[in-house]
Amino acid sequence: MSKTIATNRKAIHDYFIEEKFEAGLVLAGTEIKSIRKGSVQFKDAYIDIKENEAFIIGMHIAPYEFGNRFNHDETRDRKLLLHKIEIKKLNKNVQQKGYTVVPLSLYLKDGKAKMEIALAKGKANYDKRQSLKEKDAKREIEKAMKNKY
């Protein structure tokens, strides 16, 4: 059973999603309490691979209100837990032109914080407009079907 805490809708709008991965997070002290509370934002976050380790950069976890002096730094780089083969695959693809690794969603699975990340390729403006047209058309069809019954 999993509970979604946050999703990155901007990533789906700005990128073509090629392949998805599930990664664990290395968290400090009060970070998991803030995540359970839903105080997470990763709109401009991205994944960077340094020395065969993956890190999420730019993710903001608000300080835990009852954390006093043991509170965490809100925007520190956090290590992602992935298999070595997955990290090598991501690193190889990121070296190619146009590919990046973006976070899609953060959720709790069996009491542990997990992040869905994706290998993605950037969209051009005309691709974004096309995606919006398709989304609007789908919404109109669903609305017509709902009103029909």
pLDDT tens for the chain, 149 residues: list them.
Answer: 678 898 988 888 888 899 999 999 998 878 888 888 888 988 888 899 999 999 999 998 888 777 676 676 778 889 999 999 999 999 999 988 778 999 999 999 998 999 999 999 887 777 778 888 888 888 888 888 887 76
Asked whether residue 129 is assigned to any structural domain, the reply reads no
As for how many domains the chain has, the answer is: 1
Asked whether residue 12 is assigned to any structural domain, the reply reads yes
Name the nearest CA neighbour of 59 among 98, 120, 109, 105. 105
Asked whether residue 132 is assigned to any structural domain, the reply reads no
CA dist 77 → 12, 55, 61, 88 (Å):
23, 6, 11, 20
Asked whether residue 63 is assigned to any structural domain, the reply reads yes
Q: Which domain holds residue 19?
A: 2-123
pLDDT score recorded for residue 132: 81
Name the nearest CA neighbour of 115 among 50, 31, 14, 51. 31
Asked whether residue 141 is assigned to any structural domain, the reply reads no
pLDDT score recorded for residue 21: 95
pLDDT score recorded for residue 130: 81
Alpha-carbon distance of 31 to 122, in angstroms, equals 31
Asked whether residue 131 is assigned to any structural domain, the reply reads no
Asked whether residue 139 is assigned to any structural domain, the reply reads no
Asked whether residue 14 is assigned to any structural domain, the reply reads yes
pLDDT score recorded for residue 119: 93
Looking at residue 89, which CATH number applies to its domain?
Answer: 2.40.280.10
